[in-house]
Amino acid sequence: MSVAFVDGPTVVEFVNDSESFEKWVNEKFETLDSNGDGVLSREELQKRIGKLSSMEYELQSKEEITSLYDELFKKFDVDRSGTIDRNEFRALMKEILLAKARGIGNSPVCIILQGDSLLMRAVQRATNS
């Protein structure tokens, strides 16, 4: 576990770097698709909410993150199939990260980074370049 500073523009740059972002989305999708059927169920997504919110509690409360997922699931599961496929997931992650970037703004904020923190890859990309 480590602590890093991240600002909104760093997150936006990561989302706009299609190669890094695509790779990250695919890794994330594989991790979340615990039964390996190629789509994410509501249950598969919700299992992660608690973990994500505890890692990024500096940015958003657990309730805010839960309602964010609620809204996004409603929005992206357009056919109400109850599942999110890979393309829907990419759009969803983009929306979450851009929402986070807007929440952070231009002033760097301190965040705690752990293995599957949403913002970790964006920070790593910025640090390595």
Q: Which residues make up the interface to Ca ion (CB under 5 A)?
A: 33, 35, 37
Quote the least distance from Cβ 84 to Ca ion, whole Å: 9
Quote the least distance from Cβ 39 to Ca ion, whole Å: 5
Closest alpha carbon to 92 in 67, 75, 117, 116: 75
**Tokens 């990260």, residue?**
97
Q: Which is nearer to Ca ion, 42 or 94 (CB)?
A: 42
Quote the least distance from Cβ 45 to Ca ion, whole Å: 10
The DSSP output letter for 11 is: H
Q: Distance between CA 3 and CA 21 in Å, rounded?
A: 22
Q: Which is nearer to Ca ion, 48 or 100 (CB)?
A: 48
